[in-house]
Amino acid sequence: MNPIIFNLEKLPDWFGVLPEIILLVFAALVIILDLFVSQKKILAAVSLIGIIASGALSLGFWGTELSFFNGLILTDSFAVFFKLLFLGVSFLIVLASEDYVNSFRRLQGEYYALLLLATTGMMLMAGAGDITTVYVSLELTGISLYALTGFLKDRKSTEAALKYLLLGAIASAVLLYGLALIFGITGKTGLGEIARAVQAQLSGSASVSPALFLGLVLLIAGFGFKIASIPFHMWVPDVYEGAPTTVTAFLSVASKAAGFAIIMRVITSVFAAPDWLARDWATVFAVLSVLTMTAANIVAIPQSNIKRMLGYSSIAQAGYLMVGLAALGSSPFPGALAGMSPAQSGVLFFLASYAFTNLGAFTAITIIAQKIGSDEIADYAGMGRRSPLLALALTFCLVSLIGIPPASGFMAKFYIFRAAVQADLLWLVIIAVINSVISAYYYLRVVKVMWLESPPSAEKVPSSALPTVSLAVSCLGVLALGTIPGLIMKLAEMVNQFMP
- Over residues 221-276, the pLDDT tens digits come to 999 999 989 888 889 999 999 899 999 999 999 999 999 999 998 887 788 877 78
CA count, 13 A, side-chain hemisphere, 22? 20
What's the pLDDT at 198?
Answer: 85
Helix (H) or strand (E) holding 371: helix 342-372
The model's pTM is 0.93
Report the alpha-carbon distance of residue 325 to residue 317 in Å, rounded: 13
Regions of the chain where pLDDT drops below 70? 1-11, 204-207, 332-340, 496-500
**Cβ contacts of 156 within 8 Å, gap of 6 or more:** 238, 241, 242
Q: Give 190's strand partners.
A: 130
Q: In this structure, are residues 206 and 276 in contact, taking their beta carbons and an 8 Å threshold? A: yes
Report the alpha-carbon distance of residue 11 to residue 205 in Å, rounded: 43
**Sign (positive/negative) of CA torsion 306, 481, 119, 272?**
positive
What's the pLDDT at 6?
Answer: 47
Helices within 228-330 (DSSP H only): 236-242, 245-250, 256-270, 275-300, 306-330
Kindly report, residue by residue over 264-286, the tens digit of the pLDDT: 988 877 888 777 888 888 899 99
What's the pLDDT at 206?
Answer: 61
DSSP 8-state assignment for residue 4 = P
What's the pLDDT at 211?
Answer: 85
What's the pLDDT at 10?
Answer: 64
Report the alpha-carbon distance of residue 396 to residue 408 in Å, rounded: 10
What's the pLDDT at 459?
Answer: 81
Report the alpha-carbon distance of residue 414 to residue 220 in Å, rounded: 26
Q: Which of 252, 240, 242, 238 is nearest to 152 (CA)?
A: 242
Under DSSP, is residue 77 helix (H, G, I), strand (E, B) or coil? helix
From the number of C-beta atoms within 10 Å of its C-beta (0-12, 13-18, 19+), residue 465 rates as exposed
Q: In this structure, are residues 268 and 321 in contact, taking their beta carbons and an 8 Å threshold? A: no
Q: Which of 255, 307, 247, 306 is nearest to 101 (CA)?
A: 247
